[in-house]
Structure 1
């Protein structure tokens, strides 16, 4: 590891620790996320050892102790690369235990070589570990190319492109380390240009790793698109389900409150309530003049049902099939939610007389 000024080292350790803690808190649902979290944890531990020991025992011992944490980082990254390449997830835990045993043995050998002054042993073991990184590079590169060809979104293309660059750099850098070890040279490559490139790649890697964490923080804060849509629908949902409480779905033990699932449940319950409330409107051939007219008719139906009035309609709710286009349905419900406060206010006064025709949202 190229020696860093102390302020830069402290900043790197702090940022890495913050990302690690944040990912363990918010991004650990899938196995591939946990493998990356373990890799980052070992990397953070190595950085901490380097920063804390460089001024006490000297930069050479601190650097080798930093490298001692490297094998555990590498084996977790290799396990992640295998999953990205399509390896069987069912056997991933057993496979990863083998990788971890290899990483632990390599880490102990590097630490032994560093403490006893046998730096050649540590250099050779580190070179062997870098051969694992060389093998992981093509796996990740192939997965990135496959995803880029599959027509992903712009954000995903940027993420996979960055991962492609980082993987190619790590594979080439690991090959350089292996070659220098075979030639009897120190594995750390000297030079300002190499150090600058290494730091730029490190910054790119940190930004790439932080993307899922930032998305999880946005979702936890309720700023994601599904949460915003749910809040727009909430007032409409609250009034409709208060009038037709039987449409509210039971929440099983597996319900997690995920914004996407919560939004879907809300749209289903609103639509079921509208089906029930259609019985309280007269179904005529004239659907009205738009969403505001329809919101007024539904508000009148809610008022009638809440007062216990008999339903004049005879429509069969079961016969009304759900729209095939969920996006169009959600858009219509959002329009209805926007018109709902005005419709409620319009019927809050004295009754306006007979109801007029109703319009169904499709």
Structure 2
């Protein structure tokens, strides 16, 4: 195919996608999870396919004597198939079956899918030789070769859509998802349904073209194929670039996890210093990931609050509600630091289990926001001086 999108828009999207792919290789590839690498592979293949579909590239390769225009058009379509391969690997890896097989099973599955993609590409280019000999778009060429050519394409497109839809519906049916997660899976289902529709529609168009029937539908499908793909690449590039943006923000220390760590550090430091009963690592955690540090701090703060329950009094009524829990914890910590005898256990509201670690972290962050000012309400020397 040859893209019919306006040249400035097409090259802007291709350039953005290329930059996003390059940044993913530089910033994420070395320490990325296998799933992140598959997204990078898919983006690289999609950008390459979009470039090969541009008329300027097709003419340039032909004038340089490297590839004919007809071959470059079909090569662009095969790179779309290569885009599907890592997406199939990615969605297949969501299944518990492959997680049970471990790394070796994942590698075998990945190798099999990529090998199948290679066989499909060779077969498509072989079937496309008939249309290339006639100097025609294979989308409009009569003959069995057109059906076989697009059968490979439609199978990959349908496999990607079916896996995406089934995996997302499985997670939605399992329940216990946050609203944002449900919305994300709903969007993924729509994308997967779109891929299934494209697979069926393109194959039907190929059958019509091969048999010389349904010319109106063939023309519609032809123009849609020419115009749509580069915009799909743009949407995919935006999604892939979001992870790069997250990594840059994390590197700058401006991500939510880093901000949470900074905000909870004063309270965490006071709690783990006094509550020596809490088991802690014998060495400083070298992991720079702020999400891991945030998770560990949340667990250690909650453990400290369980210890302080033996020194706690009810939430003070004479303190504004937003700061009351911080004052309650600070008073209990003050008593323990002075060596007071433990009394009946009082559950600190902040130690109540949340729905998940996200709820717990939000609760503790809200309390930590008032920690530095909690000693104002103690009616005694400041906590650091007493300790």
Instruction: Give the TM-score normalised by structure 2.
Output: 0.66
Alignment check: 8 A CA contact 2:314 2:328 kept: no
Summarize the alignment of residues 139-288 of structure 1 with structure 2, pairs less than 5 Å apart.
139-151=163-175, 152-182=177-207, 183-184=209-210, 203-210=234-241, 212-216=243-247, 218-239=249-270, 249-250=280-281, 256-270=287-301
Which deviations, in whole Å up to 9, do the C-alpha atoms of 1:188-225 show, x marking residues without a partner?
A: 96565665665665555455555555555555554444
Alignment check: 8 A CA contact 1:26 1:217 kept: no
Q: How many residues align?
A: 342
Report how far residue 94 of structure 1 moved.
0.6
Report how far residue 164 of structure 1 moved.
2.1
In structure 2, the partner of 1:127 is 151
Q: CA RMSD in A?
A: 4.7
In structure 2, the partner of 1:66 is 76
Query: Is 1:5 paired with 2:6?
Result: yes
Deviates more, 1:216-225 or 1:101-110: 216-225
Alignment check: 8 A CA contact 1:65 1:110 kept: no
Structure 2 runs not aligned, ≥5 long: 63-68, 139-143
Q: 2:114 aligns with which of 100, 104, 107?
A: 100
In 1, the alpha carbon distance for the partners of 2:308 and 2:182 equals 45
Q: 1:82 aligns with which of 64, 81, 92?
A: 92
In structure 1, the partner of 2:340 is 313
Structure 1 runs not aligned, ≥5 long: 306-310, 356-362
Deviates more, 1:190-199 or 1:72-81: 190-199
Q: 2:42 aligns with which of 34, 39, 43?
A: 39
In 2, the alpha carbon distance for the partners of 1:46 and 1:95 equals 24
Instruction: Give the TM-score normalised by structure 1.
Output: 0.69
Cα 1:23–1:350 shift into 2, 3 Å: closer
In 2, the alpha carbon distance for the partners of 1:237 and 1:113 equals 66
In 1, the alpha carbon distance for the partners of 2:221 and 2:20 equals 29
In 2, the alpha carbon distance for the partners of 1:122 and 1:220 equals 52
Q: Return the structure number with greater relative CO, CA threshold 8 A, min gap 6.
A: 2
In 1, the alpha carbon distance for the partners of 2:162 and 2:347 equals 49
